[in-house]
Structure 1
Amino acid sequence: MSQSVQALAPVRFDADAQAKLSALRRTKFIAGAALALCILVFAFAKSFQGSHPWLGFVAAFAEAATIGGLADWYAVVALFRRPLGLPIPHTAIIPENQHRIADNLGRFIEANFLAPEPVREKLAEVDFAALVADWLADAERAAGLSRFVARLVPQTLAAVEQSGLRDFVTSRMLEQIEKVPLAPLAAELLSALTDDRRHQKLFDEFTRVVGRFLNDEKALATMREKIREELPSLFNLFRADAYLLKKIVASAGSLLDEVRADPDHPMRAEFDRFALAFIERLRTSKQYARRAEKLKRDFLGRPEVRALAGDTWASMRLFIEQDANAPNSMIREHLANMFVEVGRHLADDAQIRADMNQGFVVALASFVESQKSGVSKFIADQVKRWDLAQLTRLIEINIGKDLQYIRFNGMVIGGLAGLVLYTAERLFLVN
């Protein structure tokens, strides 16, 4: 591997790695000292074994411990480098197999850590909805989110116009309105009006309008002129038109006052019958239905209606953009309050949180499943790009301390094995 490639992704050692490195060095020193001690003990025991036969057992233990320690030292060192720098086959295993280790590591993580079931189980342990609820319920965060959303409003409105979505929505809305039967709908609305006799208030208002009409000087002059035209000329000489008009106005005014004062007046009952009959005809008459549909189509087909929709959109856009940029924006305030309220409701509704968490698990698990091969390749590529010396040092730092204990175990097990063999020799072969 070239130096330029090796330098692309150097491994950095933080404080934790430095602590591990120090612990590894201490363990190496102790293991080396133990091996040296075994050698010294072996040499001492052999030197005085002739005068002290029992030192043979000590020598056997130290000899076998030395061999076991040397063998395990060789095995541990061979993982990371060539022992004593000698080109011995099957040594420096990790540096020599960097690419294979990288590929296998990537596949191992993909198969074991990114498998669907473990990923789903791990994701299911996280209450995503509660995190969202807590985040939204914070007024400061909600205000920040509302400011962010408000900044996107102009771009969103511009995108809606450029995409043709506004015209599409307008057309679809008019199409849906055209599908709604107008006569039955009007009948239902009028039925709701008559259920609590609110139509009688309309009747009262009608009588007041008529009363004001009867007191209007211009209207009275027009009525007097009409009466004069209908009366013979002889009656006009005696000003009969004024007399008749006065009587008509007085009688009508008195009748209207009676109607307004009496909630059970016969005219009110007549108005009830008229209203109910009209509502029933709207509900059942095909002729009324055809007329209503024609009226609706004519109304929706007028260009002024579509122009009105465009003007309404333009006015709404101008208002939203101005308010979103205002210091005391109502939109931002309402958005912030809405986010806080959503967070509180979400925190109180366990079922919605459960549904949201299930959705998060499905979505994130699907994303991991679709991307895990890329993760595997990414890990493998990163490991391949590491500097060989740094890669070896990184692995040795993290597992080397435990490997050094193999040397201790080798010395102990080897020593015990040597002691057993020496004892067996003394018992069975010397005799």
Structure 2
Amino acid sequence: MADTSSSPTAPPAAPDHDAEKERALKRVKRAATLTLLMCIALFLGARLLEPQAPGLVWLAAFAEAAAIGGIADWYAVVALFRRPLGLPIPHTAIIPANQTRIADNLGRFIEANFLAPAPVRARLGSVDFAAHVADWLSDRKRADGLARFMTRMVPQTLDALEDSGLPRFLAKRARERIETVEVAPLAAGLLSAFVADRRHQKLFDELITALGRFLNDEAALAALRDKIRAELPTLARYFRADAYLLHKIVAAAGTLLDEVRDDPDHKLRHEFDRFAADFVTQLATSPAYAAQAERLKRELLARPELRNLAADLWAGLRRFMLTDAGATDSATRRHLTRLLTDIGRQLARDEAIRADMNQGFVTMLAGFIETQKSGVSAFIADQVKRWDLAQLTRLVELNIGRDLQYIRFNGMIVGGLAGLLLHLGELFVFGN
């Protein structure tokens, strides 16, 4: 394939209204040319008729100077874009001849005046980026579209995490952190808060409920009766004393449990309070408890089931997320949509957060522009240098040529007035 990187390229495609610009330019050119021809005709006519009408000398002076001014300005305007009449006159076709210099100067001008830090920061600071983000996210349809995109990226994200070794690294770091944690003080702190909120009494209630179920379980009572029978003398077993004792024990225990359950200030509850408080104190201060807790921790961490727990958790999480991401009614997508919408609404209400975000946007974008502005300047210059000369000339002429044609009109008017003044001066100096 041929390398076209250095071949001329056309400027950006002209919009539809360029045709109207070209028609307007042609109209102004024709009008200026006709006006110039009219000035020449007036000059010639006035000179021919001057012997019969001496007053025409003023018209001739005006028309002569106007024609000279018009021709000079025609030459100046044409010389910007091409060689007048195709003649190789020096310092003509200025724009095509200086394409490289114009491109470099344009790039530097944009860099110095449009991409300078102060105006860039001022312009960026006038934009409420956070409000646009909030409005965008608050729209549920847009939030759902973003959530769908994020959900589609779940498989690639999981693969990237897997390939990076992040799950294994996190599991290893978590194990190392657990190994350094002293279990006894940590457990004592947790239990202390548990006891301070009297949540241990709810545990006590559960124990009472469990004992109540035990006393009503026929299999458990049968086993208890067998134990009682084994401890009784033969004569007592003959008179079925085991059934009597079991009945009394169950009845007394049931009554006691009912009393404890119904009385929040029962003595057994206070005993349980003291037991819990003493246990927390021992766990926090006893070296023996601390050593036992550390031993249990090491035994637990050494178990193969726990060693594989992190890998199993990651595998399970990965399977769930992949399955859910591919589902028509994805829970992940629903939650993401709701989360993004809530973020947008919260952001719209919180002016302080929006101000912080806008400042962050300004700092980030201004820094990016500052580091890239020389590249932008070079890019603009390179693009202009690569433009086709004919197309470049046409583009410039279409956009400013109509105004330049009015210079020709002004030149004829100013020239004509100057001609009148010069003729008046001639009369004052030389007379007649």
TM-score by length of 2: 0.91
**Residue 283 of structure 1: aligned partner:** 284
Asked if 1 retains the 8 angstrom alpha-carbon contact of 2:103 and 2:381, the reply is: yes
Match of 2:330 in 1: 329
CA contact (8 A) 2:80 2:95 kept: yes
Shift of 1:180: 4.0
* Deviation of the 1:152 alpha carbon: 0.8
Determine the C-alpha separation between the residues in 1 that align with 2:361 and 2:409: 50
Tell me the residue number matched to 1:116.
117
Could you tell which deviates more after superposition, 292-301 or 164-173? 292-301
**Structure 2 gap ranges (5+):** none
Match of 1:40 in 2: 41
CA distance in 2, matches of 1:330, 1:351: 32
* 1: CA distance, partners of 2:128 / 2:166: 37
Deviations, residues 243-271 of structure 1 (Å, cap 9, x unaligned):
54444444333322322232222111111
Query: Which stretch shifts more, 283-292 or 376-385?
Result: 283-292
Given the superposition, is the C-alpha separation of residues 26 and 6 from structure 1 closer, same or farther in structure 2, using an over 3 Å criterion?
farther
> Unaligned stretches of 5+ in structure 1?
none
- 2-structure distance, mates of 1:273, 1:121: 69
The number of equivalent residue pairs is: 429
Instruction: Confirm whether residue 251 of structure 1 aligns to residue 291 of structure 2.
Output: no
- The 5-angstrom pairing of residues 338-357 of structure 1 reads 338-357=339-358
Q: Indicate the residue corresponding to 1:302 in structure 2.
A: 303
Report the CA distance between 1:423 and its aligned residue: 0.4
For residues 317 and 177 of structure 2, what CA distance do their matches in structure 1 show? 22
Task: Give the superposition deviation at 1:404.
Answer: 1.3
Change (3 A) 1:161 1:14: same
SS at structure 2 position matched to 1:15: coil
Amino acid at match of 1:267: L
- Asked whether the equivalents of residues 11 and 386 of structure 1 are also in contact (C-alpha less than 8 Å), the reply is no
Q: What secondary structure sits across from 1:51 in the alignment? A: coil
Question: 3-state DSSP class of the match of 2:17?
Answer: helix
Contact 1:11 1:390 in 2 (8 A): no
Alpha-carbon contact 2:10-2:391 (below 8 Å) kept: no
Aligned-pair identity (%): 63
Residue aligning to 2:404 = 403
Aligned equivalent of 1:140 = 141
Q: Deviations over 1:317-355 (max 9, x none)?
A: 111111111111111111111111111111111121122
In the superposition, relative to structure 1, how do residues 6 and 242 fare at CA in structure 2: closer, same or farther (>3 Å)? closer
**Is contact 2:66-2:413 (8 Å) kept?**
yes
**Mapped partners of 2:26, 2:240: distance in 1:** 132
How many Å apart are 1:239 and its aligned residue? 5.4
SS in 1 for 2:14: coil
Paired with 1:89 and 1:430, the residues of 2 have a C-alpha distance of 41
- Tell me what 2:315 maps to: 314
Structure 2 counterpart SS, 1:13: coil
- 1:205 corresponds to which residue? 206
Give the CA deviation at 1:92: 0.8
Contact kept? 1:41, 1:62, Cα under 8 Å: yes
Cα drift, residue 10 of structure 1: 5.6
Q: Contact 1:109–1:376 at 8 Å: present in 2 too?
A: yes
C-alpha distance in 2 between matches for 1:201 and 1:102: 82
Which letter maps to 1:347?
A
> 1:137-156, CA deviations, whole angstroms, 9 ceiling, x for partnerless residues?
11111111111111111111
318-327 vs 225-234, which deviates more?
Answer: 225-234
Following superposition, the deviation at residue 285 of structure 1 comes to 3.4
For the residue of structure 1 that corresponds to 2:47, the secondary structure is helix
Give the aligned residue type for 1:15: D
Match in the other structure for 1:55: 56
If the length of structure 1 is used for normalisation, what is the TM-score? 0.91
8 A Cα contact 1:346 1:353, kept in partner? yes
Q: Shift of the alpha carbon at 1:427?
A: 1.7
Change (3 A) 1:89 1:320: same
CA contact (8 A) 1:9 1:382 kept: no
CA distance in structure 2 between the partners assigned to 1:213 and 1:329 by the alignment: 45
Write the distance in 2 (CA, Å) between the matches of 1:34 and 1:227.
Answer: 134
1:232 to partner: Cα distance = 5.7
Q: Equivalences for 1:14-413 in 2 at 5 Å?
A: 14-227=15-228, 230=231, 241-413=242-414
Distance 1:205 1:95 in 2: 95
Tell me how far apart the structure 2 counterparts of residues 21 and 260 of structure 1 sit (CA, whole Å): 99
**8 Å Cα contact 1:11/1:387 also seen in 2:** no
Q: CA RMSD in A?
A: 2.5
